[in-house]
A and B are shown apart, each in its own frame.
Chain A
Amino acid sequence: MNLEKVVFGFFVVLAATLNFGFFIGDISNPDLHNPYELFAAVVVNLIATVLKFGDRTQIGAVHLATSLVADLQLIGASLLYGYAIYISSAGLTDSWTASVVSLSGGALLANVVSIVLLVVDTVSFHRG
């Protein structure tokens, strides 16, 4: 047992769960998607990305790549959200909400890949 691995697993899983929490619910209903949860998902994803820096193994590189994809999609989602609220004359309509939530769904897929990698890495770990 090793604190660094606990922290790593914690942030990877928390990134995926927060992302899932924002994603779930009717895709075009803005009441079901809390902006605070999106913000938390972005922040935890960024922290998970930074935790993955500097691992030169193959699996570490794929971990970092999936995390970067998730960051890209979540930041895109929050930019769209900001555009809908502050710039768009129609405000946060159903279609804007659907765009934001579907982008976060893409990030969720990347986070799921990340969790699969984590599980594969754990299962294939040989003691000694």
Chain B
Amino acid sequence: MNRFQRRVRRESVRAAAASATQASETVFLVLRRMRAPLIVLITIFAVSVVGLTLIPGMDAQGRPWRMGFFDAFYVMSYTATTIGFGELPYPFTYGQRMWVTVSIYLTVIGWAYAVGSLLALLPVHAGQVSRGGRRRCPPRGARWRRRWPAAHRRRARRRWPSSCR
């Protein structure tokens, strides 16, 4: 292996390490920003599930019956994700329906907050997409032409990345 090959190899190894570091940084950043929405979501889910296990229900023969944790978690999972299998395993009592109504609204708020925060982390906004890819600095000579009207110059300057000014 000659000197050139060694250098190429060293640089590719270094680039791979840098890219792995970059990916890990990104994952940690996303996780860090998602902390508040995830905690809100977990809390809302927990409160809804505990409420369902505490509220008295009725089985098919009309005897008093309480949901277990598994039933309550199952009901909340398909209700919060708007899948909506209905009232399982037995039809709900009015107390349960009132609680489920409250928790539907709470969980929808929780999901909307979480999904919204995740989307806000994406670097691309709608405006940048329609403009067609990455913004570039104009060539040196094109920046300050005297005969361009001031308004056009201002507008053009706004379109450039701030590092060009």
Name A's B-contacting residues (CB within 8 A). Answer: 35-36, 39, 43, 46-47, 50-51, 53-54, 56, 78, 82, 85-86
Contacts and interface: CB of A to CB of B under 8 A. Distances in A.
Interface of B: 25, 28-29, 31-35, 38-39, 42-43, 46, 49-50, 53, 68-70
Contact of B31 (A35, A46, A54): A54
Contact of B50 (A36, A46, A50, A56): A36
A51 B40 CA distance: 12
Nearest to B54: A36
A50 B38 CA distance: 7
A85 B32 contact: no
Q: Chain B at the A interface: mostly helix, strand, loop or mixed? A: helix
B42 A85 contact: no
The A interface, classified by DSSP as helix, strand, loop or mixed, is helix
A51 B42 CA distance: 12
Contacts of A54: 28-29, 31-33, 35
Contact of B35 (A53, A56, A85): A53
Contacts of B68: 85-86
A107 B111 CA distance: 29
Contact of B39 (A36, A39, A47, A85): A47
Contact of B70 (A36, A43, A56, A82): A82
B155 to A, nearest CB: 39
B51 to A, nearest CB: 12
Nearest to A42: B46
Top 10 closest pairs, chain A to chain B, by CB: A54-B32, A53-B31, A43-B46, A50-B38, A82-B70, A54-B31, A54-B28, A46-B42, A50-B39, A50-B35
Contacts of B69: 35, 39, 78, 82
B39 A51 contact: yes
A57 B20 CA distance: 17
B32 A53 contact: yes
Nearest to B70: A82
A110 to B, nearest CB: 19
Given A51-B35, A54-B31, A86-B70, 20 more contacts: A36-B50, A36-B53, A39-B46, A39-B49, A39-B50, A43-B42, A43-B46, A47-B39, A50-B35, A50-B39, A50-B42, A51-B39, A53-B35, A53-B38, A54-B29, A54-B32, A56-B25, A82-B70, A85-B68, A85-B70
